[in-house]
Amino acid sequence: MRFAWVIVVAALGLSVVSYVIHVWSLLSFPYDIDPGEGFDVNGAVRILAGRALYGDPSSFPFFGLNYPPVYGGLLAPLVALLGPSVSVGRSVSVLAGVGIAIVVGLAARVPRPAPLAPLVAGLAFLTSAYAFHVTPLARVTSLMLFLGVAGLFCLERAAESPGSAWRRRRPGGAGRQGGNDFVVTTTRRARDVPLLLAGVALLVAGVYTKPVGLDAAAAGLVYLAVRRPPDWPLAIVAALSLLVGLHLTLEWGTAGRYGDAVFTANAYAWDGEQALGYWRNFLETHAPLLALGAAAAAGHVMSRWFTVWVFYLGSGLVTAATAGRWGAGESYFLPIVIACCVLGGRALAWSTTGSRRGELLVLGAFGLFVVSGGVGPWPLRNLVPAWDRGFQAHALGHDATPADWTAGDQIVAFAAAARGPVLSEAAGFVLAGGGEVVGNPMLLRGLSNHGLYDVGPLTDALRGHAIRRVILLGQWYPPEVLQVIGERYVQVGRVEVAGNVYLLYEPRE
């Protein structure tokens, strides 16, 4: 059995070495890997400049943020200190990703401390190809997830005394889980209320980082209603007061543009084929972890210990079902991964007091997950590039190369030579060159789809060549804008950076 532990821990540890190498590669690379990175970082730039995050996107510079303000507000001091760069945004995301792994480990050691089970659970999260692709990016997702899971952890600590879930007998009979009795605690300790309120505040902060964080908030509130009914009214009042109060404040302060930018513009039609593709890949890569998490969740339910992570697994399944929307990705499955890592870690802790067969089965599940759902232990990841089978591996799974640096420098030079505004579908290159970000294709496309965007001012600026150069990637701007670009600009270059092909345009004489 000791040999099995050594193999699994070593495989997970070497997979995290691959994660660290990848992270370092991205932190030192100042250009876009994901085209949304520069736009998210530009929110911090706008805050520092005292400019509106949710201004009128029909007037120059045609920019508006399509996410809530927490990420930009947290990033602003670092941008002021280190300058506007996607690398700065990635540093925050990496810290949040590591924070998620730490919270997973801490949650896995409740209720039974076990020396290695929390380590295995935390490393398993960073091993996931989906976490590998998503958490190092300068996007809002990593911070949203960290705030959500930290909030859930606080709620669980507030709802249950340390060790009480397995040291005491439940009224009316003993419930058993791994040979230990548990109770539903009803007494309130002095620190319970501050912990509960901190949990609620963290969950609300997650929602105001990215609205998808509602899955964690819903899981936490349902958990309290079931596990600690006396605390539920306080939690629901605090949560609704913060959620509604902040929303009304932002709506009033932006003349209604906040709701249009954050909710309406991101409301795309559901594509069943896209959702099926994501789910097929998730099941192919994460099946061992999902099976382990489901079995552990069933154990919690059968023993009537309704942990918050069971509810988070359920809400995560709902979030993953929405992966058919345009703009969705692997990040929509990370709540499931997190919940399964926590539940699997607890199953591993419990198995150490039971039969060797059960312990071996749990260890085997984690070991199989390294093979099926990880990016590959170092140095095997470099020797077997096809090891990473994540859905977005082709776009987000590789490290920056010298060729990517050279190509990125070329695009920055192209933008800097414009001597005027540059409309780019990847804003990181503009930021790297010291320019002002113009436009946000994700926002303008979404608003246009709902008839909420007047393309006239932007198309006029393009016809008059007030926009000096254009950089396209996925051609995401509204059709009218793309038509004018085709008529009034000529393609002068085609540059590939980190697997993304950028088309460079200058005014047509």
Average pLDDT of 429-438?
Answer: 94
For residues 452 and 339, membership in a common domain is answered with no
Tokens of 475: 């051609």
Whether residue 115 sits in one domain with residue 60? no
Give yes or no for residue 500 having a pLDDT over 90: yes
- Report, as an integer, the average pLDDT of 125-148: 97
Q: What is d(CA 457, CA 62) in angstroms, rounded to the nearest whole number?
A: 9
pLDDT digits (tens, 9 = 90+) for 89-134: 999 999 999 999 999 999 998 656 678 899 999 999 999 999 999 9
Which position has the token pair 């980190």? 498
pLDDT of residue 172: 37
Which whole number is the average pLDDT over 43-50? 96
Q: How many residues does the chain have?
A: 509
Which of 395, 410, 435 represents a domain boundary (last residue)? 395
pLDDT at site 114: 73
- Looking at 375, 395, 415, the residue that finishes a domain is 395
Are 230 and 271 contained in the same domain? yes
Pairing of strands 500-507, 469-472: antiparallel
Dist. CA 419–CA 254, nearest whole Å: 31
CB 79 within 8 A of CB 44: yes
Domain co-membership, 270 together with 405 = no
Same domain, 137 and 264: yes
Instruction: Render the burial of 78-104: b for 16+ CB within 10 Å, e for the rest.
Output: bbeeeebbbbbbbbbbbebbbbbbbbb
Q: Determine the 3-state secondary structure of 258 from DSSP.
A: helix
Cα–Cα separations (whole angstroms), residue 190 to 159, 187, 196: 12, 10, 11
Q: What are phi and psi of 151, to 5 degrees?
A: -65, -45
pLDDT band at 1 (very low <50, low <70, confident <90, very high): low
311 and 422 in a single domain? The answer is no
> What pLDDT score was predicted for residue 385?
74
For residue 170, is pLDDT > 50?
A: no
Report the domain count for the chain: 2
Could you tell me what percent of the chain has a pLDDT over 70?
A: 93
- Condensed to tens digits (0 to 9), the pLDDT of residues 293-315 reads 999 999 888 888 889 999 999 99
CA-CA-CA-CA torsion sign (489, 491, 494, 495)? negative
Residues 141 and 192 in one domain: yes
| pLDDT computed for residue 163 by the predictor | 39
Mean pLDDT of 161-182: 39
DSSP one-letter code for 170: P
Q: Are 442 and 67 in contact (CB under 8 A)?
A: no
C-alpha to C-alpha distance for 158 and 419, rounded to whole angstroms: 57
Query: Nearest-CA neighbor of 412 among 120, 15, 32, 1?
Result: 32
Using the predicted structure, report yes or no on whether residue 166 has a pLDDT greater than 80. no
Here the tokens at position 226 are 């079931």
Contact in structure between 227 and 301 (CB atoms under 8 Å): no
Q: Per-residue confidence at 358, pLDDT binned at 50, 70, 90?
A: confident
CB 471 within 8 A of CB 423: yes
Do 279 and 306 fall into the same domain? yes
Closest by CA to 140, choosing from 192, 199, 205, is 205
3-state secondary structure of 476: coil
- Using an 8 Å Cβ cutoff, are 466 and 368 in contact? no
Residues 311, 351 within the same domain: yes
Task: For residue 344, name the pLDDT band (cuts at 50, 70, 90).
Answer: very high
Do 106 and 49 belong to one domain?
no
Q: Note the pLDDT of residue 105.
A: 95
Please check the confidence at residue 173 and state whether its pLDDT lies above 90.
Answer: no
Same domain assignment for residues 75 and 13: no
Write the CB contacts of 411 (distance below 8 Å, at least 6 apart in sequence): 31, 429, 471, 495, 497, 502, 504
The residue among 351, 378, 395 that closes a domain is 395
The residue ranking higher by pLDDT, 388 or 172, is 388
Q: Which two tokens stand for residue 194?
A: 């501050």
pLDDT for 143 equals 98
What pLDDT score was predicted for residue 187? 52
Confidence of residue 230 (pLDDT cuts 50, 70, 90): confident
Least confident stretch, 61-75, 335-349, 376-390, 441-455: 376-390
Is 224 found in the same domain as 97?
yes
In this predicted structure, the answer to whether residue 188 has a pLDDT above a threshold of 90 is no
pLDDT digits (tens, 9 = 90+) for 475-499: 999 999 999 999 999 999 999 999 9
Q: What is the mean pLDDT of residues 7-21?
A: 93
Query: E strands along 382-487, which residues?
Result: 422-424, 437-438, 469-472
pLDDT confidence bin for 189, thresholds 50/70/90:
low
**21 has a pLDDT exceeding 90:** yes
Q: How many CB atoms lie within 10 A of CB 277?
A: 14
Q: Tell me, what's the pLDDT at 243?
A: 94
* 461 confidence band (pLDDT: 50, 70, 90): very high
Residues 6+ apart with CB under 8 A from 1: 356, 359, 360
Q: Is the pLDDT of residue 174 over 60?
A: no
Q: Please provide the average confidence, as pLDDT, over all residues in the chain.
A: 90
Minimum mean pLDDT range among 89-98, 157-166, 336-345, 431-440: 157-166
- Above 50 in pLDDT, residue 180? no
Domain that holds residue 286: 2-30+85-395
Number of neighbours of residue 283 by Cβ within 10 angstroms: 11
